[in-house]
């Protein structure tokens, strides 16, 4: 049973405060979880409670969320069975009482939800992926490694937020990491030789002053080749334009490129990129408020490219069900803090899988050393993870945890590879 619940503010990868929670059970088992934070957030995400006191932390303090955990939440969950995750999460949702977790804060609630799962795993002396996923949890995810950063994650002119590599031809997760690291270093050299900055953005990818998606894709494709891999065959390309960020007044405003595109011009542009480059997946190709655009693009390229909804679904099962019903993409991005409890995040994966959709476990641009999502990727068997570049410990911590899990599973480990991009 849960004995104590304690929260504190800690610092995230952008230097902003976030909530960390310790849950201790009666037998002494400890679960600890730190909550991530986004920059390009979806409008329908669960509410991250910030103090909004401009004299402290530039308004980003989490003292109220921490106080909610240490006060009201701790009092109400004390004595609960930590193994009953669904019961705990339902109780937290009910205690908050709002549809968006705005009263207690999704950051307060998620910290308790995840820390309790980890405490329960510790009590059973089981790793988290096994505790949540059972004995059948042995599929290591295909990583989508974000090696060029733009948009809201960097101060360069690139309109699209993320350019990623997915080592679809690797045989193991560890091999995928090695391939990614090699390509990352080739890209660094290539950017340097071309006179570009090799400083990195929020997710550890380079943030050179490129203007167009084509320039970024050309650099990444060349780096794959120069490292000795075949673009498309060994390593696929993945993009997250984060299109909601530059959709204004019904137009896609490419400020870096200096062009405004109508929704159909934007879709044409993306379809052209998908036909020209070995792109296997695009996240948020269209804005969260451009559902017509989403449906058009899905009908047009959905048979040959994974189209993953991030802002448009916000890991929210209700929004996801509606998207599945109406043909908005074919895949869901899963970010635990977009919805605020572990149970609801797992439900989103389950709903996607039941519909024959894929699900991609994901970090946020503001992260910590917490590696829970690595275990969640294996526990759900979702087969894909996006957790940043091959630099910055807030990103590599997740890859390192997955390599440990692969080692622990030994001969029973499976690596998803290219097959992860399609279900059934
Ligand atoms: P965010 O970015 O965490 O800043 O929202 C990640 C993403 O858009 O996928
Ligand atoms: Zn995204």
Our mutation pick for probing the ligand 1 site, out of 35, 149, 335, counting the most ligand atoms within 8 A of Cβ, is 335
Return the ligand number nearest the Cα of 45.
Answer: 1
Measured between alpha carbons, how far is 57 from 9 in angstroms, rounded to an integer? 11
* Range 329-350 average pLDDT: 98
* Range 304-309 average pLDDT: 98
What pLDDT sits at residue 113? 99
Q: Is 37 annotated as a binding residue?
A: no
pLDDT tens per residue, range 178-215: 999 999 999 999 999 999 999 999 999 999 999 999 99
Asked whether the predicted pLDDT for residue 424 surpasses 70, the reply is no
CA of 124 to the centre of ligand 1 (A): 34
Q: Is the CB of 67 under 6 A from ligand 1?
A: no
Confidence of residue 155 (pLDDT cuts 50, 70, 90): very high
Burial class of residue 319 (count of CB atoms within 10 Å of its CB; 0-12, 13-18, 19+): buried
Asked whether the predicted pLDDT for residue 231 surpasses 70, the reply is yes
Q: Is the CB of 13 under 6 A from ligand 1?
A: no
What pLDDT sits at residue 324? 98
Asked whether the predicted pLDDT for residue 135 surpasses 90, the reply is yes
Looking only at the bridges linking them, the beta strands covering 17-25 and 30-34 are antiparallel
Confidence of residue 423 (pLDDT cuts 50, 70, 90): confident
Looking at every residue in the chain, the average pLDDT score rounds to: 98
pLDDT tens per residue, range 72-122: 999 999 999 999 999 999 999 999 999 999 999 999 999 999 999 999 999
- Catalytic hit among 60, 101, 118, 335: 335
* Range 341-352 average pLDDT: 98
What's this model's pTM, rounded to 2 decimal places? 0.98
Question: Is there a contact between 137 and 381 (Cβ–Cβ < 8 Å)?
Answer: yes
CA of 334 to the centre of ligand 2 (A): 10
CA of 362 to the centre of ligand 2 (A): 9
Asked whether the predicted pLDDT for residue 267 surpasses 90, the reply is yes
Q: Is 310 annotated as a binding residue?
A: yes
335 catalytic, yes or no? Answer: yes
Exposure string for 179-213, b = 16+ CB within 10 A, e = fewer: bbbbbbebbbebbeeeebeeebbbbbbbbbebbbb
- The interface pTM score, or ipTM, of the predicted complex is 0.99
What pLDDT sits at residue 347? 98
What pLDDT sits at residue 62? 98
Q: Which atom of ligand 1 is nearest to the CA of 39?
A: 4
Asked whether the predicted pLDDT for residue 336 surpasses 70, the reply is yes
Q: Where are the alpha helices (DSSP H) in 127-227?
A: 128-133, 173-193, 213-227
What pLDDT sits at residue 290? 98
Burial class of residue 71 (count of CB atoms within 10 Å of its CB; 0-12, 13-18, 19+): middle
Return the ligand number nearest the Cα of 338.
Answer: 1
* Range 137-142 average pLDDT: 98
Q: Is the CB of 359 under 6 A from ligand 1?
A: no
Asked whether the predicted pLDDT for residue 293 surpasses 80, the reply is yes
């Amino acid at each position: 049973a849960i004995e104590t619940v304690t929260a504190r503010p800690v610092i995230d990868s952008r230097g902003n405060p976030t909530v960390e929670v310790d849950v201790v059970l009666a037998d002494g088992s400890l679960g600890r979880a730190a909550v991530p934070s986004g920059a390009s957030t979806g409008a329908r995400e669960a509410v991250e409670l910030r103090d909004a006191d401009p004299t402290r932390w530039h308004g980003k303090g989490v003292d109220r969320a921490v106080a909610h955990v240490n006060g009201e939440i701790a009092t109400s969950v004390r004595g609960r069975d930590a193994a009953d995750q669904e019961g705990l999460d339902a109780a937290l949702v009910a205690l908050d009482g709002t549809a968006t977790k705005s009263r207690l804060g999704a950051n307060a609630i998620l910290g308790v939800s995840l820390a309790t799962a980890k405490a329960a795993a510790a009590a059973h002396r089981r790793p988290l992926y096994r505790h949540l996923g059972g004995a059948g949890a042995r599929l290591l995810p295909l990583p989508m490694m974000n090696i060029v950063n733009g948009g809201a994650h960097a101060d360069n002119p690139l309109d699209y937020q993320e350019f990623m590599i997915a080592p679809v031809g690797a045989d193991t997760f560890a091999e995928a990491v090695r391939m990614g690291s090699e390509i990352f270093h080739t890209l660094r050299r290539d950017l340097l030789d071309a006179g570009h900055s090799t400083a990195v953005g929020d997710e550890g990818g380079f943030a050179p002053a490129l203007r167009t998606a084509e320039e970024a894709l050309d650099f990444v494709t060349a780096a794959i080749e120069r490292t000795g891999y075949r673009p498309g065959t060994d390593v696929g390309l993945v993009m997250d334009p984060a299109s909601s960020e530059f959709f204004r007044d019904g137009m896609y405003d490419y400020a870096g490129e200096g062009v405004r595109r109508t929704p159909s011009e934007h879709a044409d542009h993306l379809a052209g990129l998908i036909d020209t480059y070995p792109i296997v997946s695009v996240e948020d190709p269209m804005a969260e408020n451009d559902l017509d655009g989403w449906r058009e693009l899905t009908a047009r390229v959905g048979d040959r490219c994974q189209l993953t909804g991030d802002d448009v679904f916000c890991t929210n099962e209700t929004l996801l069900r509606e998207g599945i019903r109406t043909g908005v993409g074919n895949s869901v991005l899963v970010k635990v803090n977009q919805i605020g409890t572990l149970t609801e995040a797992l439900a989103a994966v389950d709903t996607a899988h039941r519909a024959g959709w894929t699900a991609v476990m994901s970090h946020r641009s503001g992260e910590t050393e917490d590696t829970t999502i690595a275990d969640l990727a294996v526990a759900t068997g979702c087969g894909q993870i996006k957790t940043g570049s091959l630099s910055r410990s807030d990103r590599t911590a997740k890859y390192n945890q997955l390599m440990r899990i692969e080692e622990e599973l030994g001969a029973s480990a499976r690596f998803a590879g290219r097959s992860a991009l399609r279900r059934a």
